[in-house]
Amino acid sequence: MSISRTQPISLLNRINRTPIEKEPLTSERLAGVRIAYSARRVAQDAMATLLRGPIKLRAGDLVLARVDRLGQHQRIELPHGRRAQLYEGDEIIVCYGNRYAPDQFEAIVPERLEECHLVAGGGIAARMLSRHSGMKRPTTITPLGLVGDADGHRLNVADWGLDKPAATARRPYTIAVAGTAMNAGKTTTAANLIKGLVKTGLKVGAAKVTGTGAGGDRWTLVDAGAHSVLDFTDIGYASTYRVPAPQVENIMAQLCGHLAAEAAEFIVLEVADGLFQDETARLLTSPTFANWVDGIIFAAGDALGALAGVEWLRRRHLPVQAVSGLLTASPLAIREAAATGLPVLSQRQLLQGGWRPDQAAGGGRAENWQALWDDASSAVMGLG
């Protein structure tokens, strides 16, 4: 007998003879629950039941969990950015997701409802596989049930993503910020680039294409003055680790499409993690990336990392235009990074709007960008 995925859970359970408990999730109980950033797009009035039993979990499923033992993450980020203090015994709604963070945790979605960990402050539940030696043990949580709707269907952030973007005839000039690893200075570089472009009078859209669901980087790009800021959670993903390459490409295409439809004149993208991270490497070498991205600023913590990363990009014929990131805190490291043969952009230069993307091979796209740049009412070009 063929079973449609849309059939009620109760019918599937009768056929499989596996009992699933369904308990009402009342508004009174929800009032005392902390709902995490990762679940922010799911309407609270859709949260009506708790589902328990032998359910195979999926990335993006919402789960109501109890905080049992505080560890590394002692606060949880709420949908609008406030980081709320956690206490043992608190109930939280978070999303299952995989995490890849060499400086913090590697973690995967467990197979069933069982004790696991809070592996990101934005609200990601997973089973830790490894941790950086500088990290405390993760906060331990106990799932109390998947969050379902009134009919007993599990809620997943994939069902709450943005609609397909409206088609637009123009594509904004797009710069991607990639880097050697997490904490290489990618977000700071992207934010200062945005601020500098905004100072020239441009309408800038920004997006974080990959990573783990948390709002910190998003709020930084908002504060830099971007007209519209999106991330992969807006497309329906709690994280992008272990997401198949075609889906990651689709995330990027949708994010760029939405920013273009909102009339952005320039797009700044942040690509999480480093070049050795599988999803990052696949995305950077994909047709979608080639179709959307005009140039790359590469962020690194030191000159050798910058040189290795630039050579990696060049071997794949990717349009790397400049180097920046954490290394620019050191005048000596800036001098060393000149070995890349590229401009080494300090955060101050980016912030002041003192750098213009190299348009040597831009063709018609270069002319369009030059016209936008020349028309900017308050250009403060420092270097040209």
84 and 113 both lie in a single domain: yes
Residue 111 in tokens: 């197979």
User: Where would I find the beta strands (DSSP E) of 7-138?
Assistant: 21-24, 34-35, 49-52, 62-69, 75-77, 83-85, 91-96, 99-100, 105-108, 116-120, 124-131
Say if residues 264 and 290 touch (Cβ distance below 8 Å).
no
179 and 156 both lie in a single domain: no
195 and 132 both lie in a single domain: no
361 and 276 both lie in a single domain: yes
- Compute and round to an integer the Cα radius of gyration of the chain: 22
Residue 360 is predicted with a pLDDT of: 33
Q: The domain containing residue 210 runs over which residues?
A: 173-375
Q: How many domains does the chain have?
A: 2
319 and 296 both lie in a single domain: yes
Q: Is residue 202 part of a domain?
A: yes
Has this prediction a pTM greater than 0.85? yes
Residue 17 is predicted with a pLDDT of: 57
Q: Is residue 114 part of a domain?
A: yes
126 and 180 both lie in a single domain: no
**Phi/psi of residue 35, each to 5°?**
-95, 130
**Any residues with CB less than 8 A from the CB of 12 and at least 6 apart, and which?**
3
Residue 264 in tokens: 């952005």
- Per DSSP, 371 falls in state H
**Any residues with CB less than 8 A from the CB of 137 and at least 6 apart, and which?**
71, 72, 131
Q: Is residue 103 part of a domain?
A: yes
Residue 79 in tokens: 């949908």
215 and 71 both lie in a single domain: no
- Tens of pLDDT along the chain (384 residues)? 333 444 444 444 444 456 789 999 999 999 999 999 999 999 999 999 999 999 999 999 999 999 999 999 999 999 999 999 999 999 999 999 999 999 999 999 999 999 999 999 999 999 999 999 999 999 999 999 999 999 999 999 999 999 999 888 789 999 999 999 999 999 999 999 999 999 999 999 999 999 999 999 999 999 999 999 999 999 999 999 999 999 999 999 999 999 999 999 999 999 999 999 999 999 999 999 999 999 999 999 999 999 999 999 999 999 999 999 999 999 999 999 999 999 999 999 999 988 877 443 343 343 343 343 333 323 323 322
CA distances from 110 to 128, 157, 198, 279, 365 (A): 9, 17, 43, 20, 47
325 and 186 both lie in a single domain: yes
183 and 131 both lie in a single domain: no
Identify the domain boundary among 128, 160, 192: 160
Residue 373 is predicted with a pLDDT of: 35
Residue 281 is predicted with a pLDDT of: 96
Residue 165 is predicted with a pLDDT of: 93
SS (H, E, C) 253-292: HHHHHHHHHCCCCEEEEEEEEECCCHHHHHHHCCHHHHHH
Angular region, 258: left φ>0, alpha ψ -120 to 50, beta rest: alpha
Domain with 269 in it: what CATH number? 3.40.50.300
Q: Is residue 1 part of a domain?
A: no
Q: Is residue 2 part of a domain?
A: no
